[in-house]
């Protein structure tokens, strides 16, 4: 949800102002004609049996405030800004402040900033609801592949791009679980997975032990970003068909719980 909030904040800023510094986001967390509660899709349930009953809306407000706090901790936004008595939830900061104490206001990129430095998304990514349908892992993986496609444009066109393990860990901070989101992105029609006879679709090497004994070089998966056209349609049909045709495995569904249990046992 943190990434969803951040992308929606960027979208709001760039639709409100064409260039320059957009300033404070005028949308409150709740209340008014339009609020963040109206913009965010999240699994927020009511709990009326609690000592202090909590509605679904109150839970969503708590989730949104928690996401804004996380973004503020990363120096991506300022929170609780504006005039006393009329505080608004956030103001965007420049991305260069991540990991550094220096804070600069967010500056809307210009077209001449170039594809190598700016990752673009079509308006329909937001207006057709893709930002709500894709998970944070799927969005991260998609944006990384778009960045790779811009960095290595000729390779992307000719044979697709790949993410070496070093880049995956050091450049993008990409975990194995997030990397595996390429499987659903391909099923949704957002990317193309270049066929590799030495690997299964999940990336595992065919007859790995025999391949290892022979000392062969294992070529990586290669990907091609389809383009913006899939976002021009509603995601509901595509996502529903993909999930029905390729339901998640038991291993995939229980991996998070196993990792949490392992972490707890290591403490």
pLDDT digits (tens, 9 = 90+) for 82-137: 887 788 899 999 887 676 667 889 998 876 666 557 888 999 999 999 999 999 99
Kindly report, residue by residue over 235-251, the tens digit of the pLDDT.
Answer: 988 888 888 876 555 56
Tokens matching residue 221: 């998966």
CA distance 39 to 21: 22
Quote the pLDDT of residue 32. 77
**pLDDT tens track of the chain, all 267 residues?**
889 999 999 999 999 998 899 999 999 998 878 899 888 887 766 666 666 667 878 888 888 999 999 999 999 999 988 887 788 899 999 887 676 667 889 998 876 666 557 888 999 999 999 999 999 999 999 999 999 898 888 999 988 898 887 888 888 888 888 888 888 999 999 999 876 666 666 666 676 666 666 666 667 788 999 989 999 999 988 888 888 876 555 565 555 555 545 544 444
Instruction: Tell me what pLDDT residue 1 has.
Output: 81
Residue 267's pLDDT is what? Answer: 42
């Amino acid at each position: 949800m943190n990434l969803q909030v951040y992308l929606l904040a960027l979208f709001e800023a760039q639709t409100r102002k064409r260039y320059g510094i957009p300033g404070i986001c005028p949308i409150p967390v709740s209340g008014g004609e339009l609020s963040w509660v109206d913009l965010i899709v999240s699994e927020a349930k009511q709990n009326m049996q609690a000592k202090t009953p909590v509605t679904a809306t109150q839970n969503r407000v708590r989730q949104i405030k928690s996401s804004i706090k996380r973004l503020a901790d990363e120096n991506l936004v300022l929170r609780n800004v504006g005039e006393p008595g009329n505080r608004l939830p956030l103001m965007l900061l420049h991305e260069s402040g991540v990991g550094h104490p220096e804070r600069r206001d967010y500056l809307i990129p210009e077209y001449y900033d170039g594809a190598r430095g700016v990752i673009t998304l079509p308006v329909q990514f937001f207006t057709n609801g893709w930002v709500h349908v894709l998970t944070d892992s799927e969005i991260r993986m998609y944006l990384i592949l778009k960045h790779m496609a811009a960095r290595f444009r000729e390779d992307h066109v000719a044979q697709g791009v790949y993410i070496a393990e070093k880049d995956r860990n050091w450049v993008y901070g990409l975990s194995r679980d997030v990397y595996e989101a390429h499987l659903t992105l391909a099923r949704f029609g957002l990317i193309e997975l270049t066929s590799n006879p030495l690997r299964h679709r999940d990336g595992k090497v065919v007859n790995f032990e025999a391949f290892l004994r022979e000392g062969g070089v294992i070529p990586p998966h290669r990907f091609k970003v389809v383009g913006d056209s899939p976002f021009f349609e509603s995601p509901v049909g595509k996502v529903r068909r993909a999930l029905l045709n390729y339901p998640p495995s038991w291993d995939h569904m229980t991996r998070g719980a196993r990792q949490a249990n392992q972490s707890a046992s290591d403490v």
